[in-house]
Structure 1
Amino acid sequence: MSLSNNTIARTYNKLFVELADPRTNDWFLITSPIPGLTIIYLYLQFVLKWGPRYMADKQPFQLQKTMVVYNFLQVLVSCWVFHEGLDAGWLRTYSWKCQPVDFSNTPEAIRVARGVYIYFLAKMTELLDTVFFVIRKKERQITFLHMYHHTVMPMISWGATKYYPGGHGTLIGVMNSFVHIIMYTYYMFAAMGPKYQRFFAWKRHITTLQMVQFCIAFLHSSQLLFYDCGYPRWSVVFTLPNSIFFYYLFYDFYYKSYKKPEEAKTNGQVNKENGLKDHPKIGNGTNEIKYQSDEKKIK
């Protein structure tokens, strides 16, 4: 038993102390994976069980002012991360082909590491997106894509902060922050009410932008297969499949949300031109009898 405990202790020490970046390892929520995983576990329990059960016999919360303030703060954080990522690296010293992590204690290296850490904290606060959906009874918004994204991103960004806070992989966070600037701005306007209705047309373009970011992330991460700069090549085992999977999920969402309604509208127009009503029961025999009856009356 003692030998087993020693093995577990050594493994834990190896994974979460020795391999960790000493500059970030003592930062809040980074030292151990347990606090972060506990938050995610409680989040899933609330979203899937506790929240719906609590709201079952209650009216949905409105939270208009809360949503405006929350989305505004998310925009500010995303702007800061986006600016830091460009100014501290990608527009100045970083290589677009292959960029290693600077593990030194220089102000520039610490600045990048801090940006990665703030990005991680932002992913944790974004769990509130789903909490607000639950208490506002917006269950249709809680899709598999939504849950997968909000569960996986905090874990990925935690790992980046603990082990590789900088370098090649940070471009994904910079692009994602840019997308979130636009996305949370849209949500903020949507929360302000109908008078901002003209801004709602952004939604489908935000989804397109998200798909573009995953294409860029895939191509950018793929460069690690050809260039060696010290950044871990094994990271492509996570980044490439994840980029493909995210792209597929967002494309599926885009098709179901925007393409299908357009096809249904087009088909409905064709049916009207052919003298048929755009009705979901067409083809089951009921409406066919009605149309035949109408034709007899016309004759």
Structure 2
Amino acid sequence: MVNYLREFLLLPFTDTRELQLLHFGLFLGIYLAAFLGNGLILTTIACDHRLHTPMYFFLLNLALTDLCSISTTVPKAMANSLWDKTTISYADCATQAFLLVFFFSAEFYILTIMAYDRYIAICKPLHYGTIMDSRTCVNMAAAVWGSTFLYAVLHTANTFSLSFCQGNALDQFFCEIPQILKLSCSDTYLREGGLLVVSAVLAFGCFVFLVLSYVQIFRAVLRIASEQDQHKAFSTCLPHLAVVSMFLSTAFFAFLKSPSMSCSQSLNLLLAVLYLVVPPAVNPLIYSMRNQELKDAVWNLMTVFQKR
């Protein structure tokens, strides 16, 4: 029984050495952009007391999840391309799968909480300070990190407790749990069924909550008489809505596509890059484009560093 696998084989982007180096360069550029953008957001929010509000507190958490999630996969993919390798140890694969589930789930719930924060700020502005006080924000963030950690532990432990008898080659450039399950000779549907049902119910509940929140937000914004106030309200909501839309659309197509769909290896790689690599690099740009307060804070921080 191949229960004692020592390593997995990851899917390479290409077998051509020149293209491998090109892939390394592209991923390096994306990773540096994500690291710089999210790092600037983290540092700016932490250092600027004017940004110590619920909205920016949750944005800080989002930037942290983006930075951690892209650091879980991209450095390993770059190293494999640079050194022309495709292997990952069993322990490293389990760790990578755990971290991916952890940060990916945390990002979804943080985006949901951010929608709730915008709903309270726009639809119930007089009660905003009471509802979204510092203790409530910390408790919600702690609940997200704690619950997603537990979920990731259960999901990863359940996956790697299976017996593997279908080889050790994964059709992905990182350790994706659906690809790992394909290697199992156990009855994965019985083992995974309950956990997947609970996950689907929670994800659908968050999705419905997001939709209803933004329906109420747009109804409230359209009732605002002042165009300037409308523009200000939209400027705080549209970046979040754009990030949510990109996150849900790419994840939906990548994870919820029918198993009967015969996707080529190239398409699987492209989808993985779209939902896993691109968003962490693009999210800081989306949030900074229409948020003048954040742009001013970043500029002030950079000016202070230049003077030093």
Q: Please indicate the TM-score interval, normalised by the length of the shorter structure.
A: 0.3 to 0.5
Question: Which structure exhibits the higher relative contact order, with contacts defined as CA atoms closer than 8 Å and separated by 6 or more residues?
Answer: 2
Larger Rg: 1
